[in-house]
């Protein structure tokens, strides 16, 4: 479990790991980044209470670095990746191991079921759980088991992870997808099991959400630069939306200034149609059952969806054109813009 500024979530996340109903030896390795909210102190308290908890320092704070440190500090042949913002069902590990053996896979993952406490966080959770929000990946609501492109978190065979070189520490976002890409290229199977479920608590503020999605989108653009056609077509929808918005704004300026008029203006107005369809789709999701019950939930849903899409798409275009370089997700740092070292 890589950990950074998670005091509000860490204890519950740890508890759900240590209370799994599986009858086999377990250890929980926490890779501690340089937290500023008391997370490290809480982690030390938890480790004092339970000898199964192992602490390792992750001064760089990068997730793939922390994951590799934790894997090396562990001793068991199966690796269960967990997140400090997630909670496991009591039977998660046992059932995942059964699926791992039955399907002869190298990595098994299930469904990310996002939940929220405030109207904003609930809106983000609904966007995560909706195919409109994150593009319909299997772990965002799939119902059929089978081979998968990637796995959310994942229950992995150590031997395979070590064989393919563990997590790529040059990738700060999308490290799961990239690792699973190498696993599949090596001839091993990645499996999706919809009976496995992990509760995930998304970002709590609009600013943090935008920062998270911009960083994630930029790294996806970097992954497209590196792996090209290995990326699913669904990743190109948000940048296409951003390009369409930009073209619509340019068209509107040309029409208002009179540079484009007459039949040319009518023809150019076609660019507004996909944006109109997108707007109606967002409104429909917000007003429907997927938008929540209260009016605040519906308003936030209508705001959250385009915020996710536009920030991710903008990041993607930047990453595709210029690369991700040292881009980090600063959303775990609170409302500051200071990047991690």
DSSP for 133-147, written as a single string: HHTT-GGGT--S-EE
**pLDDT per position as a tens digit, 3-40:** 999 999 999 999 999 999 978 899 999 999 999 999 99
Six token digits for residue 248: 């619509």
Displacement of CA 109 from its chain's centroid (Å)? 14
| pLDDT computed for residue 338 by the predictor | 36
**pLDDT per position as a tens digit, 120-129:** 999 999 888 8
| pLDDT computed for residue 77 by the predictor | 95
Contact 183, 106 (CB under 8 A): yes
| pLDDT computed for residue 292 by the predictor | 65
> Cα–Cα distance between 32 and 39 in angstroms, integer?
8
**In this model, does residue 340 exceed pLDDT 90?**
no
CB neighbour list of residue 45: distance below 8 Å, 6 or more residues apart: none
Domains located in the chain, CATH noted? 2-202 (3.90.550.10), 229-333 (no CATH)
pLDDT band at 117 (very low <50, low <70, confident <90, very high): confident
pLDDT band at 133 (very low <50, low <70, confident <90, very high): confident
CB neighbour list of residue 154: distance below 8 Å, 6 or more residues apart: 79, 80, 81, 107, 108, 109, 176, 180
CB neighbour list of residue 50: distance below 8 Å, 6 or more residues apart: 18
Q: What is the average pLDDT score of the chain?
A: 90
Question: Checking DSSP bridges between strand 2-3 and strand 28-32, what pairing results, if any?
Answer: parallel
CA atoms within 13 A on the CB side of 184: 15
DSSP-assigned letters across all residues of 260-274? S-HHHHHHHGGGHHH
> Cα–Cα distance between 39 and 44 in angstroms, integer?
9
Residues pairing with 109 in the sheet: 192
Nearest to 217 by CA among 174, 170, 167, 176: 174
Looking at the chain, the number of H-run helices and the number of E-run strands are 13, 9
Displacement of CA 152 from its chain's centroid (Å)? 8
Nearest to 154 by CA among 192, 182, 203, 101: 192
> Cα–Cα distance between 213 and 221 in angstroms, integer?
12
């Amino acid at each position: 479990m890589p950990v950074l500024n998670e005091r509000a979530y860490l204890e519950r996340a740890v508890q759900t790991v240590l209370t799994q109903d599986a009858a086999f030896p377990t250890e929980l390795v926490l890779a501690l980044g340089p937290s500023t909210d008391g997370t490290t102190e809480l982690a030390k308290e938890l480790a004092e209470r339970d000898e199964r908890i192992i602490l390792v320092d992750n001064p760089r704070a990068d997730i793939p670095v922390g994951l590799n440190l934790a894997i090396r500090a562990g001793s068991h042949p199966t690796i269960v990746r967990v997140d400090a913002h997630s909670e496991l069902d009591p039977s998660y590990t046992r059932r995942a191991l059964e699926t791992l053996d039955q399907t002869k896979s190298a990595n098994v993952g299930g469904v990310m079921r996002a939940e929220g406490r405030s109207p904003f966080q609930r809106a983000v959770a609904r966007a995560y759980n909706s195919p409109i929000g994150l593009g319909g990946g299997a772990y965002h609501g799939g119902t059929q088991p089978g081979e998968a492109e990637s796995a959310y978190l994942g229950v992995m065979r150590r031997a395979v992870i070590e064989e393919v070189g563990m997590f790529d520490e040059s990738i700060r976002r999308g490290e799961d997808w990239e690792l699973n890409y190498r696993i599949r290229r090596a001839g091993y199977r990645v499996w999706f099991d919809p009976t496995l479920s992990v509760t995930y608590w998304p970002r709590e503020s609009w600013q943090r959400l935008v920062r998270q999605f911009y960083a994630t989108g930029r790294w996806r653009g970097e992954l497209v630069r590196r792996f090209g056609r290995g990326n699913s077509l669904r990743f190109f929808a948000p940048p296409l939306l951003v390009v369409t918005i930009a073209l619509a704004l340019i068209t509107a300026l040309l029409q208002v200034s009179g540079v484009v008029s007459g039949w040319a203006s009518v023809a150019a107005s076609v660019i507004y149609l996909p944006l109109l369809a997108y707007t109606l789709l967002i409104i429909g999701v917000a007003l429907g059952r997927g938008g929540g019950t209260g009016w605040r939930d519906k308003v936030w849903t209508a705001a959250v969806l385009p915020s996710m899409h536009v920030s991710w798409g903008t990041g993607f275009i930047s990453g595709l054109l210029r690369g991700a370089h040292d881009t980090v997700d600063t959303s775990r740092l609170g409302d500051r813009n200071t990047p991690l070292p």
